[in-house]
Chains A and B, each alone.
Chain A
Amino acid sequence: GAGVSQSPSNKVTEKGKDVELRCDPISGHTALYWYRQRLGQGLEFLIYFQGNSAPDKSGLPSDRFSAERTGESVSTLTIQRTQQEDSAVYLCASSLGPGQGQNGYTFGSGTRLTVV
């Protein structure tokens, strides 16, 4: 597609439920990233995919968080047993390859997750 698409745009869930967030990157972009943005804060790195592999998962906050990517395309971020501190905007970005400079990173509009 023309840009990075994320769904849903908003998600309200009850504490303890599992949620899945989806990212459709730009076609042909081999690198995909998930970031989290808490209210009033900058973005925190969660995970990096090169193709379908995740060489860097160091930013995932706990084992309740997992992500996968298939077909070198769509990625899903799953949060199990959600907690209130998981409330944030989850942003996905893609690039042709890692660290592609000026035009490298294209971000989606994010999924706003609220855990009640």
Chain B
Amino acid sequence: GIQVEQSPPDLILQEGANSTLRCNFSDSVNNLQWFHQNPWGQLINLFYIPSGTKQNGRLSATTVATERYSLLYISSSQTTDSGVYFCAVNSGGSNYKLTFGKGTLLTVNP
């Protein structure tokens, strides 16, 4: 099946810093999503982005499907951005099964 690799596995920032998280995938995808899992375990949809670029406030994401990677940018980070960021994809004949990467654990210190 498709492989999803995220980097870095861990990231520590000071409040106000910017960061870039990367997601590489091994095959073409129908769908790519970024999720944030907060320290209480709740998973929140950030972006549905099988291709192109989207922005939502301080967050933006870019997927280059032909090169099989996606980037999540966080600008002016805040302590509330802490948690795990997951990339998840649908591929092949499935339009419902998400394959997740192992995530990037982000810690933003005040």
Contact = CB atoms under 8 A, between A and B. Distances in A.
Contacts of B107: none
B7 interface: no
A98 B30 CA distance: 12
A52 interface: no
Nearest to A45: B97
Range class of the A interface residue count: 20 to 34
B51 to A, nearest CB: 13
A43 to B, nearest CB: 4
B41 A41 contact: no
A111 B92 CA distance: 30
A112 B42 CA distance: 12
A56 B94 CA distance: 10
Contact of A98 (B33, B35, B95, B101): B95
Contacts of A44: 100
B97 A56 contact: yes
Interchain residue pairs A-B with the least CB separation, the first 5 = A42-B100, A99-B95, A102-B48, A98-B96, A107-B43
Interface of B: 4, 30-31, 33, 35, 40-43, 45, 47-48, 86, 88, 90, 94-103
